[in-house]
C-alpha cells in the first residue's frame, strides 16, 4: 500500500534534540527496565516516600516500581497511590461522557473499527441538528462535562469541530447545559489548534497509542497517523497554540505495558521541560476487541487485571499531580478497584455509537460502536455507588472558566491549595445535581456525603464557611452555576 507523505517536519523539528532524535529512546527505556529488575525493598520505600511528597519521579525510579513483584510491597504501593490521590484531589471524582461525532477516517489503525479499510463499518457524521439532539440527551441525563471524539477526515476537520463545539455550548435544557467540552481528535497544525482554543475547550487529548517506534509503524500502516513524531509532538503544538490543559495516553495491549508507562513518563517530562507543566490527565485504555480489527484476539501484550492495577499505582506515584482517567471500556468491578488506586475521572452512561444517545435505532448501535464497553450503567447508578464508597462527584468546571488552568492549577494542586476551592465547588455542584437529576435512592446516598463534606469545611476552614453557606443556600433555593 502506498504511504501518504508525512506532514511537514517544520511543525515539530524544533523540539528534537541536536542529533535529530525525539524524546523516546527505545533502547534506553529497555535498559532502564532491565537494569532495575530486582529492586531492593528499601529503595522502593524511598521512592514511595518521594511520591508522597508530591514529587514527580525520575525514569530510573519508575522503572524500579514497574519491577516490584513482592505482594506486600505492591500493596504498599497501592495504599500510597491512594494517599497521593487524597493529598492532591481529596475524595473527589469527576464524571463525564464521551460524544462521538463522526466515524469517518482516513487512517488505518489496525485495532480500530473506524479504520479506513473496515468496509463493514457504516459511516456517519452528525449534522449540527443531530449534535444538538445528542447534547440535549446528555444534559437530560445530568452530564455537565463531555469529551467530543472525532475520526480524522477532511469533512470532520477544524471547521466541523468548531461548529459542533459551538453548537454544544449553545444548548440549554431547563437548568442544564454542558459547561466543559474536552476534545479527543487527531493532531493538528498550530493554526487549527488556535481556532480550537477559541471555542473555549477544556482539555485537548491525543493518545500516542504506543510509544514503541517499531510497533507504532506496524499498527499505523498508512494515513497521517503513520507519522509517529507528528503525533508525539501534537500536545507540544497545542501548548504553543495556547491550549494549556493537554492530555496524554497510551493504548495498553499493543506493546509491553512497562514500556508504555515509561513512554508516558518521558512524555510528561518533555512537556514539563518545554512548557513548565505536565499533562492535565493521563489515560491508559486497554485494547478491546473491535469489529474489523486486524489484530489477533489474543495479543501477546494483553495486560492482565493484576498488571493493570499495578500500572495504575505506578502512574499515580510517578506523576502525583496529574488527573487519571479510567473509562467504561473497563468493567464496574475493575473501575471500583481502580478508584482505590488513585483514579480521578471516569465516564458514565457511556454510548460510543455515532448518534447513540438520542436516536431510536439502538439495535444498530453495536454495529456503529468503535469497540465493546465493559460498563454501561447510568450516571445516576455510578454516582450512587461512588457516594456509598465515600467519594463525592464534582461537576465543578470553575477552574478553566476563571483562569485556574495549566501551570497555575498545577502549582496549586502540587501545593494542595486548590483543595479547598475544589471541595467547596464540589459540594455546590453536587447539591445542584442531586436536586436536578438524582433518583430518590441516589439522593439519599448523596445527602450523607454532602453532610460530611459541609462539616469538614465548617471545622477545617471556618474563615470561609459563612460565605460558603450563603452560596449553598442560594443553590438550594434554585440558583445555578455558582462557584468560587
Ligand atoms: N481519531 C482520533 C485519534 O485516533 O486520535 C481520535 C478518536 S479515536 C476514536 C480515540 C481513541 O480510541 C484512540 O486514540 C485509541 O486509543 C482508542 N481506541 C481505538 N481502538 C480501540 C480499541 N479497539 N480498544 C480500545 N480503545 C481503542
Ligand atoms: Fe481513525 Fe482514530 Fe480509529 Fe485510528 S483510532 S482509525 S485515527 S478513529
More confident of the two residues 482 and 66: 66
Model confidence pLDDT, tens digit, residues 229-259: 999 999 999 999 999 999 999 999 999 999 9
**For residue 103, which atom of ligand 2 is closest to its CA?**
8
Q: Of the residues 105, 107, 112, which should be mutated to test ligand 1's pocket, given the most ligand atoms within 8 Å of the CB?
A: 112
Q: Which of 92-96, 175-179, 370-374, 449-453 has the lowest mean pLDDT?
A: 370-374
What value does the mean pLDDT take over residues 415-442? 86
Phi and psi at 125, nearest 5°, equal -130, 125
- CA distances in angstroms from 330 to 333, 349, 381, listed in the order given: 8, 13, 16
How far is ligand 2, taken at its centre, from the CA of residue 289, in Å?
14
**1 pLDDT above the threshold of 70:** no
Model confidence pLDDT, tens digit, residues 127-148: 999 999 999 999 998 999 999 9
What value does the mean pLDDT take over residues 3-15? 71
- pLDDT, mean over the chain: 90
Q: Which of 2-16, 311-325, 395-409, 462-476 has the lowest mean pLDDT?
A: 395-409
Specify the pLDDT at position 4. Answer: 46
Q: Which of 58-62, 195-199, 347-351, 395-399 has the lowest mean pLDDT?
A: 395-399
How far is ligand 1, taken at its centre, from the CA of residue 151, in Å?
9
User: Which residues approach ligand 1 with their CB closer than 6 A?
Assistant: 111-112, 114, 149, 151-152, 184-186, 206-207, 209, 251, 285, 287-288, 290, 329, 370-371
- Strand bridging mode 92-102 / 345-347: parallel
Considering only CA atoms, which residue is closest to atom 21 of ligand 1? 112
Measured from the Cβ of residue 309, the count of other Cβ atoms closer than 10 Å reads 20
Considering only CA atoms, which residue is closest to atom 3 of ligand 1? 186
* Residue 442 Cβ contacting ligand 2 at under 6 Å: no
* Residue 187 Cβ contacting ligand 2 at under 6 Å: no
Model confidence pLDDT, tens digit, residues 66-108: 999 999 999 999 999 999 999 988 999 999 999 999 999 999 9
Specify the pLDDT at position 2. Answer: 43
List residues bridging with 392 in a β-sheet: 92
Give the separation between CA 336 and CA 345, rounded to whole angstroms. 12
C-alpha of 423 from chain center: 21
Residues above pLDDT 70, as percent of the chain: 91
Specify the pLDDT at position 413. Answer: 59
Model confidence pLDDT, tens digit, residues 18-47: 999 999 999 999 999 999 999 999 999 999
Q: Which of the four pLDDT bands, split at 50, 70 and 90, describes residue 5?
A: very low
* Residue 143 Cβ contacting ligand 2 at under 6 Å: no
Closest CA to 328 of 299, 370, 270, 384: 370
Sign for the pseudo-dihedral over CA of 283, 285, 290, 296: positive
Q: Which of the four pLDDT bands, split at 50, 70 and 90, describes residue 122?
A: confident
What value does the mean pLDDT take over residues 356-373? 62
Specify the pLDDT at position 417. Answer: 56
**484 pLDDT above the threshold of 70:** yes
**For residue 151, which atom of ligand 2 is closest to its CA?**
8
Closest CA to 252 of 191, 307, 294, 297: 307
**160 pLDDT above the threshold of 80:** yes
Measured from the Cβ of residue 70, the count of other Cβ atoms closer than 10 Å reads 12
Q: What is the pTM of this model?
A: 0.93
* Residue 196 Cβ contacting ligand 2 at under 6 Å: no
Specify the pLDDT at position 403. Answer: 57
Q: What is the DSSP string of 26-56?
A: HHHHHHHHHHTSS--HHHHHHHHHHHHTT-P
Helices (H) and strands (E) in the chain, counts: 20, 9
Q: Which of the four pLDDT bands, split at 50, 70 and 90, describes residue 401?
A: low
How far is ligand 1, taken at its centre, from the CA of residue 112, in Å?
6
Q: Which of the four pLDDT bands, split at 50, 70 and 90, describes residue 387?
A: very high
Q: Which of the four pLDDT bands, split at 50, 70 and 90, describes residue 365?
A: low
HSE-CB for 97 with a 13 A CA cutoff: 30
Model confidence pLDDT, tens digit, residues 261-307: 999 999 999 999 999 999 999 999 999 888 877 777 677 899 999 99
Amino acid at each position: 500500500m502506498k504511504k501518504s507523505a508525512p506532514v511537514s517536519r517544520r511543525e515539530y523539528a524544533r523540539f528534537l534534540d541536536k542529533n535529530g532524535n525525539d524524546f523516546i529512546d527505545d533502547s534506553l527505556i529497555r535498559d532502564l527496565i532491565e537494569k532495575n529488575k530486582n529492586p531492593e525493598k528499601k529503595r522502593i520505600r524511598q521512592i514511595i516516600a518521594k511520591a508522597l511528597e508530591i514529587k514527580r519521579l525520575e525514569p530510573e525510579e519508575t522503572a524500579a516500581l514497574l519491577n516490584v513483584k513482592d505482594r506486600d510491597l505492591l500493596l504498599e504501593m497501592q495504599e500510597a497511590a491512594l494517599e497521593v490521590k487524597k493529598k492532591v484531589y481529596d475524595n473527589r471524582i469527576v464524571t463525564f461522557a464521551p460524544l462521538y461525532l463522526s466515524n469517518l477516517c482516513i487512517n488505518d489503525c489496525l485495532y480500530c473499527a473506524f479504520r479506513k479499510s473496515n468496509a463493514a463499518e457504516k459511516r456517519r457524521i452528525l449534522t449540527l441538528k443531530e449534535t444538538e439532539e445528542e447534547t440535549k440527551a446528555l444534559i437530560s441525563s445530568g452530564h455537565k462535562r463531555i469529551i467530543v471524539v472525532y475520526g480524522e477526515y477532511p469533512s470532520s476537520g477544524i471547521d466541523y469541530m468548531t461548529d459542533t463545539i459551538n453548537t454544544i455550548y449553545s444548548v440549554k435544557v431547563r437548568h442544564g447545559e454542558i459547561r466543559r467540552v474536552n476534545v479527543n481528535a487527531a493532531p493538528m497544525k498550530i493554526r487549527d489548534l488556535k481556532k480550537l482554543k477559541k471555542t473555549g475547550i477544556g482539555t485537548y487529548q491525543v493518545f500516542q497509542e504506543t510509544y514503541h517506534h517499531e510497533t507504532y509503524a506496524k499498527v499505523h500502516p498508512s494515513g497521517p497517523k503513520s507519522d509517529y513524531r507528528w503525533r508525539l509532538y501534537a500536545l507540544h503544538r497545542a501548548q504553543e497554540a495556547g491550549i494549556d490543559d493537554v492530555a496524554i495516553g497510551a493504548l495498553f495491549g499493543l506493546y509491553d505495558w512497562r514500556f508504555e508507562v515509561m513512554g508516558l513518563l518521558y512524555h510528561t517530562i518533555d512537556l514539563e521541560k518545554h512548557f513548565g507543566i505536565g499533562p492535565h490527565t493521563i489515560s491508559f485504555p486497554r485494547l478491546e476487541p473491535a469489529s474489523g480489527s486486524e489484530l489477533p484476539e489474543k495479543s501477546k501484550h494483553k495486560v492482565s487485571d493484576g498488571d493493570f492495577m499495578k500500572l495504575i499505582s505506578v502512574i499515580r506515584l510517578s506523576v502525583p499531580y496529574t488527573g487519571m482517567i479510567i473509562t467504561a471500556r473497563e468493567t464496574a468491578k475493575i473501575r471500583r478497584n481502580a478508584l482505590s488506586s488513585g483514579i480521578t475521572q471516569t465516564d458514565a452512561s457511556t454510548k460510543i455509537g455515532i448518534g447513540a444517545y438520542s436516536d431510536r435505532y439502538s439495535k444498530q448501535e453495536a454495529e456503529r460502536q468503535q469497540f465493546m464497553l465493559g460498563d454501561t450503567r447510568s450516571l445516576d447508578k455510578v454516582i450512587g455507588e461512588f457516594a456509598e464508597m465515600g467519594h463525592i462527584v464534582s461537576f465543578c468546571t470553575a477552574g478553566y472558566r476563571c483562569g485556574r488552568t495549566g501551570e497555575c492549577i498545577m502549582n496549586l494542586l502540587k501545593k494542595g491549595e486548590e483543595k479547598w476551592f475544589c471541595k467547596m465547588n464540589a459540594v455546590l455542584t453536587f447539591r445542584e445535581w442531586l436536586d436536578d437529576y438524582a433518583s430518590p435512592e441516589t439522593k439519599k446516598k448523596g445527602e450523607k456525603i454532602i453532610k460530611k463534606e459541609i462539616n469538614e469545611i465548617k471545622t477545617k476552614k471556618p474563615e470561609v464557611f459563612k460565605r460558603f453557606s450563603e452560596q449553598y443556600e442560594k443553590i438550594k433555593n434554585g440558583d445555578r452555576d455558582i462557584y468560587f
